[in-house]
């Protein structure tokens, strides 16, 4: 598990233990939210903020400025594509990478997520090791 976390930490390595990555996880399903939040925090490299709907997720993205957003694309309150567009339009949040997640694992779903503004896409159910690799890859990309 930890092997997937090694790598560039956006230039924040200073010779001491690598900095904690702040993750905003936007998920309406309590079980999914609890499971992924707990697994990420057990890695020791993540601080996870949680939002149970897309409106709350947008507010936390702007106020907390996470390093990455994990966004369930099947959320109540705002249309699943509108929340991504809203964040990418906001100058305070536009550079935060978004990994869209959905149980609809069709190639067209991934294409739509990327075209809408997600930096990456991951299918549900979540394969944890694969998600860690995806998180590391989006954080390593230049802004």
In this structure, what DSSP letter does residue 3 have? Answer: G
Sheet with 68-72, edge to edge strand ranges: 46-51, 21-26, 68-72, 98-102, 120-123
Helix, coil or strand: residue 56: helix
Return the pLDDT at 76: 72
CB 30 within 8 A of CB 53: no
- pLDDT for res 7: 41
Between helices 54-64 and 80-89, what is the axis angle to 10°?
Answer: 20
Tell me the average confidence (pLDDT) per consecutive run of 10 residues in the chain, 143 residues long.
40 48 95 95 94 93 97 82 94 96 88 95 94 95 82
Instruction: Show the tokens assigned to 60.
Output: 């936390």
CA atoms in the 13 A half-sphere facing the CB of 84: 23
pLDDT at 18: 54
How much is the pTM? 0.85
Distance, in Å, from the CA atom of 135 to the CA atom of 2, rounded to the nearest integer, reads 13
Considering the four listed CATH numbers 3.40.50.2300, 3.90.280.10, 3.30.1330.10, 3.60.15.10, the one that applies to the domain covering 20-140 is: 3.40.50.2300
CA distance 7 to 29: 31
130 and 122 in contact (C-beta within 8 Å)?
yes
Asked if 113 and 100 count as a contact pair (C-beta separation under 8 A), the reply is: yes
């Amino acid at each position: 598990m930890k092997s997937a976390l090694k790598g560039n930490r956006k230039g924040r390595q200073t010779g001491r233990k690598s900095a904690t990555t702040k993750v905003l996880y936007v998920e309406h399903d309590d079980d999914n939210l609890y499971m992924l939040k707990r697994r990420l925090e057990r890695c020791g490299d993540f601080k996870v903020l949680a939002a149970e709907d897309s409106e709350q997720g947008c507010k936390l993205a702007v106020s907390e400025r996470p390093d990455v957003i994990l966004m369930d694309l099947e959320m109540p309150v705002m249309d699943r594509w509108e929340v991504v567009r809203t964040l990418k339009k906001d100058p305070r949040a536009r550079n935060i990478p978004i990994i869209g997640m959905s149980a609809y694992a069709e190639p067209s779903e991934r294409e739509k997520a990327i075209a809408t503004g997600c930096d990456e896409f991951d299918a549900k159910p979540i394969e944890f090791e694969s998600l860690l690799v995806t998180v590391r890859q989006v954080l390593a990309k230049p802004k």
